[in-house]
Amino acid sequence: MLKAGIYLDVENLVRCGGRSMRFRVIKDLVAAQQATVLRANAYMARDPMREGSDLEYRRRKEEYRFAVRKAGFHLVLKEVQRYRGADGEEVSKANSDLDLAVDALLQADNLDYILLGSGDGDFIQLVRALQNRGKRVDLLSFSNTSTELRRQVDYHFSGYLVPGILPQRETPARLRGTMHGVNEEKGFAFLSVHTGLSVDDQRDDIFLHISEFQSHDGQPVSNQSFAALKTREAVIEFELKEQADGRFKAINASEMPDPL
């Protein structure tokens, strides 16, 4: 079994679509890579000034931090700092990037596998340093992920596609996937979906016809805009239907709304 460490830039994940992420499932995701979690750090901002003046805000933050601890994560809190910008406006900042990078590098000697949770391109050098030390580095992120960071890591998990990380609210349950092949002229595509938490738990044989894709404004979808969904790596939500020949098709499909 690999020895693993998890390092989550919580503020980035929450800000970019992971507000309701389930921290226990993140640990399950690492375990599914045949790894034993030795370190699980969650880097979070803390605003003592606001928590001191807004009791409801403080209660919500304390409950959130308690839930993260209960899921088995060690919290590394960075206090929010306030200062005046050049235009005189107050600016608040609590950047944990350096803390996360230093901890990951210092603790990596005892680790084989690292899951980095962030879409911030500032971590590219950290990923390279860890890989140069022989570590496997995977990435978990949601929206606004640095393209260079995705290319550098060994594997990228989209939080939108990993089963169970975000709560399922729809009935019947809708799956999420991305296009891996599209025929613009004939208006059809094939979708890839994660069926489990392992990297290999995927299927890519789900057929989607343009007639089963619905735009959010109810307007007809052109073949060009349909094909552009693959180029944009859009997340497609759909229901799965088995056909008479045993194959599967996506029905009632639409692009996942922007959660930001």
Residue in 127, 129, 132 with CA at minimum distance from that of residue 116:
127
* Domains, the chain, ordered by start: 2-158 (3.40.50.1010), 175-255 (2.40.50.140)
pLDDT-derived band at 93 (thresholds 50, 70, 90) equals low
CA dihedral 109, 112, 117, 121 (to 10 degrees): 70
Specify burial of residue 51 (Cβ count, 10 A radius: 0-12, 13-18, 19+). middle
pLDDT of 170? 56
Is the pLDDT score of 94 beyond 60? no
With tokens 């962030």, the residue in question is: 118
Q: How far apart are CA 52 and CA 12, in angstroms?
A: 24
Mean per-residue pLDDT, 121-137: 97
pLDDT in tens, 199-230: 999 999 999 999 999 988 778 899 999 999 99
pLDDT in tens, 37-91: 999 999 999 988 888 888 999 999 999 999 999 999 999 999 877 665 555 565 4
Distance from chain centroid for Cα 56: 28
pLDDT-derived band at 250 (thresholds 50, 70, 90) equals very high
φ/ψ of 185, rounded to 5, equals -65, -45
Contact 92, 47 (CB under 8 A): yes
Q: What is the pTM of this model?
A: 0.89
DSSP-derived secondary structure for the chain: -EEEEEEEEHHHHIIIIITT--HHHHHHHHHTTTEEEEEEEEEEEE-HHHHHH-HHHHHHHHHHHHHHHHTT-EEEEEE-EEEE-TTS-EEEE---HHHHHHHHHHHGGG-SEEEEE---GGGHHHHHHHHHTT-EEEEEE-SS--HHHHHHSSEEEETTTSTTTS----SS--EEEEEEEEETTTTEEEEEEE-SSSTT-EEEEEEEEGGGB--TT-PPPPHHHHHHHHHTTPPEEEEEEE-TTS-EEEEEEEEPPP--
Q: How far apart are CA 39 and CA 74, in angstroms?
A: 8
